[in-house]
C-alpha cells in the first residue's frame, strides 16, 4: 500500500511540475533543483548524479521523487533534468545549432554538435592498412614546423585533430620551445605530392593552411614519462568547414569519459612511417586493437597500470595492430572509434598518439602504441578552449 501511495504521489507531482519545469528550463536556461539549488536544464546523460540515480536498481521513494521533480522537458528519445550548476561545468560548451548561430563564430570555445562532428562516410566502412579515400577523416591536421636550415620551408612534425573552427588537439611533446611563427596547421590534405590529387574520379578540394596564435600544453605534461601528453593549437582566424575540413567529436558524455574501450577495434590514420620507414605521400589508415590495462599493487605501494608489461599511467591507453602501431610522424594524431551515443553514430577521438611502448621498431609486428586517453582530459580541454 505504501508503495502504491508513493507512486500516486510521484505521478501527481510529475504532472504538476512537468509544465512548470518545461517552461523554466526546456531551452537550457536557469532553473531551480528540487533542493532549491541553482541549476540548468540539460540532458540527463550530462548530469552525473541524476544519471547514476536513474539507473539505480533499488531506489528509495525519496530518490525517485528527486528524480521525478528534476524533470524539465523531453530530449530526443530521453529527457532533460534540472542539474546543479557545479555539475554542469564543461557541458554548457555544447549548444543547440540555433544557439550556435545566434552567438556566431566569435565564441571560440563552442564545440560542434554531433550533427556536425565525426561524420561517417561510406569509405569509413573499409578497414585495413590501406590508402584512405579523399574525404576520409577530414579532421586530421598536418602540423608543420619551419626548417631551421631553410626558413622558407616547413617539414612534417606531427599530426592533430580538428575539434572546432579554432582548435586542433595534438601531443605536447611535438613542441619544445617552439615559436608561434614557426608553426603552420594544414587541413584538407590527402596527397602530399600534389595539391590536386584524385582518387576514384574525385579530386582534392583546396587546402587550408593556417598560422596559429597559441600553443597550450597541459600544465602537468611531463617530458620524461610523457604523462599528460596533450596540447591544443589555436588557429589564427579559424578555418572554414568544407567537405574535406570537418571536426571530430570528443567523448564528452560521461558514459564515454571513463570507458577504456578494451578489446575493441579502433582506427589510426596519417602519413607516418611505414614498415619500410618511408613516409607515405597518401594518407593511410589501419585498424588496431585496444589492449586491456592491468592494475597491480604491492603491499604498501601505489597502484600501477600495465598493458602487456608496459608501465603506463591511468590516463593512457595502449593499442596494437597486426602489422602496425603508429610511427613518429603520426605523433599527436588520432585514435578513433565509431560509437552510438544518444541514438546517433559518429567518429570519436578517444586517444592521441604519444609514443611506442616497446623496443621494437616503430610499426613492426606486435609493437605497442601508447596513447593519451582523451576521456581523462575532457574537462581540461573544455576549460582551455573557453578561457584561452
CA distance 231 to 157: 14
| Least confident segment among 1-5, 51-55, 162-166, 208-212 | 1-5
From the CB of residue 54, how many other CB atoms can be counted at a distance below 10 Å? 18
* Annotation marks residue 313 as catalytic: no
Positions of CATH 2.40.10.10 in the chain:
139-247, 254-376
Q: Give Cα separations from 161 to 76, 315, 358, 373 (angstroms).
A: 28, 19, 25, 14
Residues in the chain, overall count: 388
Residue 247's pLDDT is 97
For the domain spanning 254-376, the CATH number is 2.40.10.10
Residue 210's pLDDT is 95
Closest CA to 180 of 223, 139, 221, 210: 210
* Annotation marks residue 133 as catalytic: no
Q: For residue range 30-70, what is the model confidence (pLDDT) as tens digits?
A: 899 998 888 889 888 778 788 777 777 677 888 888 989 99
Threshold 0.85, pTM exceeds: no
Cell numbers representing residue 92 in the block: 554548457
* Annotation marks residue 331 as catalytic: yes
Q: Please answer whether residues 208 and 162 qualify as being in contact, where contact means their C-beta atoms are separated by less than 8 angstroms.
A: no
- Name the active-site residue from 331, 354, 356, 367: 331
CA distance 116 to 249: 8
The CA radius of gyration of the chain, in Å to the nearest whole number, is 23
Helix (H) or strand (E) holding 186: strand 183-187
Domain 2-93 has what CATH class? alpha beta
Task: Return the CATH fold of 139-247.
Answer: Thrombin, subunit H (2.40.10)
- Exposed/middle/buried for residue 278 (C-beta within 10 Å: 0-12, 13-18, 19+): exposed
Cell numbers representing residue 331 in the block: 605523433
Residue 257's pLDDT is 85
Q: For residue range 254-268, what is the model confidence (pLDDT) as tens digits?
A: 788 888 898 899 999
Q: Nearest 10 degrees: CA dihedral of 59, 64, 67, 69?
A: -170
- Name the active-site residue from 229, 253, 325, 330: 229
Q: Give Cα separations from 114 to 97, 140, 164, 328, 346 (angstroms).
A: 10, 17, 12, 31, 7
Q: Please answer whether residues 228 and 249 qualify as being in contact, where contact means their C-beta atoms are separated by less than 8 angstroms.
A: no
Closest CA to 327 of 264, 292, 278: 278
- Name the active-site residue from 90, 173, 315, 325: 173
Cell numbers representing residue 386 in the block: 573557453
The pLDDT-based confidence of 212 (bands split at 50, 70, 90) is very high
The pLDDT-based confidence of 326 (bands split at 50, 70, 90) is low
Amino acid at each position: 500500500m505504501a508503495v502504491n501511495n508513493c507512486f500516486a504521489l510521484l505521478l501527481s507531482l510529475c504532472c504538476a511540475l512537468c509544465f512548470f519545469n518545461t517552461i523554466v528550463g526546456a531551452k537550457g536556461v536557469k532553473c531551480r533543483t528540487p533542493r532549491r539549488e541553482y541549476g540548468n536544464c540539460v540532458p540527463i546523460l550530462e548530469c552525473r548524479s541524476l544519471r547514476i540515480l536513474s539507473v539505480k536498481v533499488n531506489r528509495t521513494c525519496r530518490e525517485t521523487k528527486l528524480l521525478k521533480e528534476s524533470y524539465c522537458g523531453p530530449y530526443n528519445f530521453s529527457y532533460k533534468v534540472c542539474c546543479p550548476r557545479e555539475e554542469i561545468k564543461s557541458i554548457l560548451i555544447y549548444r543547440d545549432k540555433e544557439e550556435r548561430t545566434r552567438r556566431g563564430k566569435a565564441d571560440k570555445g563552442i564545440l560542434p554538435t554531433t550533427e556536425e562532428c565525426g561524420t561517417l562516410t561510406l569509405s569509413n566502412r573499409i578497414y585495413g592498412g590501406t590508402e584512405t579515400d579523399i574525404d576520409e577523416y577530414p579532421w586530421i591536421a598536418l602540423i608543420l614546423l619551419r626548417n631551421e636550415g631553410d626558413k622558407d620551408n616547413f617539414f612534417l612534425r606531427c599530426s592533430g585533430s580538428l575539434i572546432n573552427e579554432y582548435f586542433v588537439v595534438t601531443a605536447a611533446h611535438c613542441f619544445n620551445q617552439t615559436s608561434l611563427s614557426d608553426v603552420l596547421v594544414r587541413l584538407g590534405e590527402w596527397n602530399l605530392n600534389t595539391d590536386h590529387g584524385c582518387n576514384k574520379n574525385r579530386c582534392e578540394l583546396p587546402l587550408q593552411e593556417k598560422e596559429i596564435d597559441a600553443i597550450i600544453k597541459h600544465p602537468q605534461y611531463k617530458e620524461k614519462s610523457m604523462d599528460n601528453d596533450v596540447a591544443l593549437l589555436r588557429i589564427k582566424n579559424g578555418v572554414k568547414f568544407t567537405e574535406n575540413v570537418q571536426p571530430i567529436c570528443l567523448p564528452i558524455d560521461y558514459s564515454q569519459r571513463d570507458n577504456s574501450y578494451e578489446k575493441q577495434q579502433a582506427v589510426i590514420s596519417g602519413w607516418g612511417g611505414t614498415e619500410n620507414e618511408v613516409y607515405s605521400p597518401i594518407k593511410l589508415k589501419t585498424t588496431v586493437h585496444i589492449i586491456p590495462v592491468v592494475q597491480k599493487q604491492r603491499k604498501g605501494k601505489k597502484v600501477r597500470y600495465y598493458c602487456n608489461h608496459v608501465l603506463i599511467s591511468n590516463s593512457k591507453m595502449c593499442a596494437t595492430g597486426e602489422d602496425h602501431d603508429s610511427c613518429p610522424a603520426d605523433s599527436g594524431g588520432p585514435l578513433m572509434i565509431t560509437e552510438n551515443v544518444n541514438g546517433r553514430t559518429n567518429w570519436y577521438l578517444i586517444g592521441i598518439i604519444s609514443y611506442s611502448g616497446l623496443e621494437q621498431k616503430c610499426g613492426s609486428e606486435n609493437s605497442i602504441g601508447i596513447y593519451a586517453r582523451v576521456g581523462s582530459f575532457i574537462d581540461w580541454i573544455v576549460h582551455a578552449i573557453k578561457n584561452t
